[in-house]
Structure 1
Amino acid sequence: MLIHPWDAGSEAESLAFVRENSFGQLIAAGRGRDVPVVVPTQFLLVDDRRIVLHLARPNPVWPAIEENPNVVLAVAGDWAYVRGAWKVMPGEGDPGAGIPTTYYAAVQLICQARVVADPEEKAEILRQQIAALDEGLVDPAEHVRQFRGIRGLELIVSEIKGKFKYGGNADDAHRAYVAERLAERDGPGDAAAIGHLRQRSPVLPG
């Protein structure tokens, strides 16, 4: 993806976003395919360089990973449409001449994939995912007979690409003006976008 210098996220910010948004698109290019295999999936970022997840055995991603274990895990969210008029502050000119945009966050993790077939390793992946998302369930090993229907996947992160498109090429005054309009609209994604704007403009009211 295109990342301008003013949109680039730090590794810490990118990983924090991934931790808070543990659902993404697993992309496996394979070898010699017309298009890659793209799988929407829940996942768990265990630490800064390791991700685990599980998928059904019939999933079409497995042959692609066997062909080429280099994959991308893409996560995007916190998006909000910014009207063109919001880009023109009072006294600057015709609001109708403003250029609209969309604010959003996106992180792409370049990874090396390892397929997990061992039942105990699969059980441990499930334990980790359940511990992060649920509670009070029996140990996954209780369902070992059903393990043949799934495979585990471990992804080792080799590169982190983070883009946080929140008016980084504008000054504090213009970001504050957009933040005020987002607060007034208060639609889906607007509060998250305001949070990102505040990170980039500490002068914005909290």
Structure 2
Amino acid sequence: MLIHPWDAPRDDDEWQRWLSAHGFGQLAVNGPPGEPPLVQPLHFAYDPERGEAVTHLARPNPLWPAVEANPDVVLSVVDDYVYVPGPWQAESGTPSEHGVPTSLYASVQLRCRAHLVDDPARKAALLNRQVGHFQPEGGSARAAAGEAPYGRLLSGIRGLRLEVTGVRAKFKYAGKRSESVRERIAAGLSDRNGARDAQARAHLLRRLRA
């Protein structure tokens, strides 16, 4: 992922806050020799204090042999993305039809060392962390090895603890454009009011005024 200086996060807090509010991404694992990488969509819970993310997958998942062969993986999250029409990007004094269309988006890629979790008690603890992240208000029984209602289901999954060893983060929100162009893009996103337009506009204005 190319990261220009104007697209880089201002500090670690910017990407950590964003990632903590997102819990769905794609886990990329090196495939067997001669095969392309394997990519698995999944929910995960990121813990910035521990420097790790936790998740789980069904035991028959084809990723497991690949993870065991090479535990260096990438967890990729992309969101708040929008398409920007060319005329919105035309600089002052330039014909609007000469503006270049682009994409705006936020992306965080965590390089991780994957640790498999097969012990029933540790799997239960991992699941409780993950459910607690998504359901802080509770409402579900806690998992416990050998206990109803989830104990008998633990054998059907394997846990993954993803130890973060590197981070690449990008907030591509017209950072190299003039203030007037960014204000025009923000106005266009407000008027269009499509999927993710409000989130992208908030990023653009936040970074413009930082």
What band does the TM-score fall into relative to the shorter chain?
Answer: over 0.9
- 1:26 and 1:73 in contact (8 A); partners too: yes
Task: Give 5+ residue unaligned stretches, structure 2.
Answer: none
The one of 189, 192, 197 equivalent to 1:190 is 197
Pair 1:164-2:166 in alignment: no
Measure, in 2, the Cα distance between the counterparts of 1:168 and 1:202.
Answer: 11
TM-score by length of 1: 0.93
RMSD over aligned Cα, in angstroms? Answer: 1.4
Matched, 1:47 2:48: yes
Q: Which runs of 4+ in 1 moved over 4 A?
A: none
SS of the residue 2:200 aligns to: helix
1:111 aligns with 112
Q: TM-score, normalised by structure 2?
A: 0.92
d(CA) in 2 for partners of 1:45, 1:37: 21
For 1:51-106, what per-residue CA distance to the aligned partner results, in whole angstroms no more than 9, with x for missing partners?
A: 111100011111110000000000001011111011125x6232111100010011
Displacement after TM superposition at 1:11 (Å): 2.3
Give the equivalent residue in structure 1 for 2:143: 140
Match of 1:40, SS state, is strand
Which residue identity does 2:90 align to in structure 1?
Answer: V
The letter of the residue matching 1:18 is: L
Shift of 1:171: 2.1
C-alpha displacement of 1:46? 2.0
Identity rate, percent: 42
Distance in 2, Cα, partners of 1:58 & 1:102: 37
| Aligned partner letter, 1:101 | T
Contact 1:30 1:63 (8 Å CA) reproduced: no
Aligned residues: 202
Q: Which residue of 1 aligns with 2:76?
A: 74
Q: Deviations over 1:157-192 (max 9, x none)?
A: 011100111001112221111101110111111101
Contact 1:11–1:162 (Cα < 8 Å) also in 2: no
| Aligned counterparts of 1:177 and 1:70: Cα–Cα separation in 2 | 42
Q: Which residue of structure 2 lines up, in the alignment, with residue 98 of structure 1?
A: 99
Query: How big is the shift at 1:30?
Result: 4.4
* Match in the other structure for 1:5: 5
**Pair 1:58 & 2:65 matched:** no
* Distance across 1 between alignment mates of 2:21 and 2:194: 20
- More divergent stretch after superposition (163-172 vs 148-157): 163-172
- What is the one-letter code of the residue matched to 1:133? F
Q: Secondary structure at the match of 1:201?
A: helix
C-alpha separation in 2, matches of 1:187 and 1:50: 33
8 Å CA contact 2:55, 2:160 repeated in 1: yes
Structure 1 counterpart SS, 2:97? helix
Report deviation, 1:31.
Answer: 4.9
Is the contact made by 2:20 and 2:47 (CA closer than 8 Å) also made in structure 1?
Answer: no
> Which amino acid letter does the alignment assign opposite residue 55 of structure 1?
L
Amino acid at match of 1:69: P
Cα-to-partner distance string for 1:12-35 (whole Å, 9 max, x where unaligned): 222222111110000111452421
